[in-house]
Amino acid sequence: MTDDRKRAVIRGFKDLEVWQVAMRLARECYVLTRAFPDTERFGLTNQLRRASVSIPSNIAEGHGRGSPKSFLQYLWIANGSLAEVETQVLLSIDLEFIGENAALSVIDLTQQVGRMLTGLRRSIESQLP
């Protein structure tokens, strides 16, 4: 396979695989929080949903800025939100709002997005002067 065929054409943020997986993570977080107690509607449910939405949102915003340095900054913000999501899921397990098995897909997605963000950041950093 040639180098040209290996490199996908990125026309917009929706073409970024990391954005696509981050969107899946956000959807999974919404599904996961449906099992939370009603008393958490304005607490952990809201926090987890907002943090999960922040990940693909920051990837999109950074990409839309058109500057590699700005993109890197937003990817770091997305990484911070990713750490929030993982922390909040672990707390949800500790508080017995959800079981470990119910959280497995979300935990797996956080790890996958984390690896992808790291790879994308390294790729962008290698192209900077």
Average pLDDT, the chain: 92
Burial class (CB in 10 A: 0-12, 13-18, 19+), 26: buried
Read off the DSSP letter of residue 15.
G
The arithmetic mean of pLDDT across residues 29-49, rounded, is 95
Contact 85, 29 (CB under 8 A): yes
Q: What is the pLDDT of residue 65?
A: 92
Q: What percent of the chain has pLDDT over 70?
A: 92
Output 111 or 4, whichever has higher pLDDT: 111
The arithmetic mean of pLDDT across residues 15-26, rounded, is 97
Q: Which of 67, 107, 75, 79 is nearest to 91 (CA)?
A: 107
CA 96 to each of CA 35, 72, 84, 92, 100: distance values in angstroms, whole numbers, following the listed order? 11, 36, 18, 6, 9
> Residue 11's pLDDT band (boundaries 50, 70, 90)?
confident
> Residue 9's pLDDT band (boundaries 50, 70, 90)?
low
DSSP, collapsed to helix, strand or coil, labels residue 7 as coil
Segment 75-120, tens digit of pLDDT: 999 999 999 999 999 999 999 999 999 999 999 999 999 999 999 9
Domains of the chain (ranges plus CATH)? 12-127 (1.20.1440.60)
CA 64 to each of CA 11, 61, 70, 99: distance values in angstroms, whole numbers, following the listed order? 11, 5, 9, 38
User: What's the CA gap between 43 and 60, in Å, rounded?
Assistant: 26
Please, what's the b/e burial string for 87-103 (b: 16 or more CB within 10 A of its CB; e: otherwise)?
ebbeebbeeebbeeeeb
Q: Is the pLDDT of residue 4 over 50?
A: no
